[in-house]
Amino acid sequence: MYRNGNKILLALVTWNIVFIIAIKFYYKWRNARREKIWAGMSHQERDRYLSTTKDTGSKRLDFRFAH
C-alpha cells in the first residue's frame, strides 16, 4: 500500500549503512595518520608538544577517535 514511502525508507537505510561504513574507515585513517606522526616523535618532542600546543580536543596529536 505504501510503495513510495517504503522505497524512500529503504533508500534512507541504505544511505545510512554506507555512511556508517565510510565514517568507520575515515576514523581509522585519521587515527593511523596521527599515530604515524606521534610515533615519529622522540620523547622530548612529545613532551614539548604536550606542554606548548594550543590544540584542544580532537585536534591534538595524542587524541584517538573511538570507532
pLDDT at 32: 96
Whether residue 47 is contained in a domain is answered as yes
Whether residue 66 is contained in a domain is answered as no
All cell numbers assigned to 12: 534512507
Whether residue 16 is contained in a domain is answered as yes
How many domains does the chain fold into? 1
Whether residue 28 is contained in a domain is answered as yes
| pTM as predicted | 0.77
Distance CA 4, CA 9 (A): 9
- Which residue range is the domain that position 15 belongs to? 3-51
pLDDT at 11: 98
Whether residue 56 is contained in a domain is answered as no
* Digitized pLDDT (tens) for each residue of the chain, 67 residues in all: 899 999 999 999 999 999 999 999 999 999 999 999 999 999 999 999 999 999 999 999 999 999 8
pLDDT at 1: 83
Whether residue 59 is contained in a domain is answered as no
Whether residue 20 is contained in a domain is answered as yes
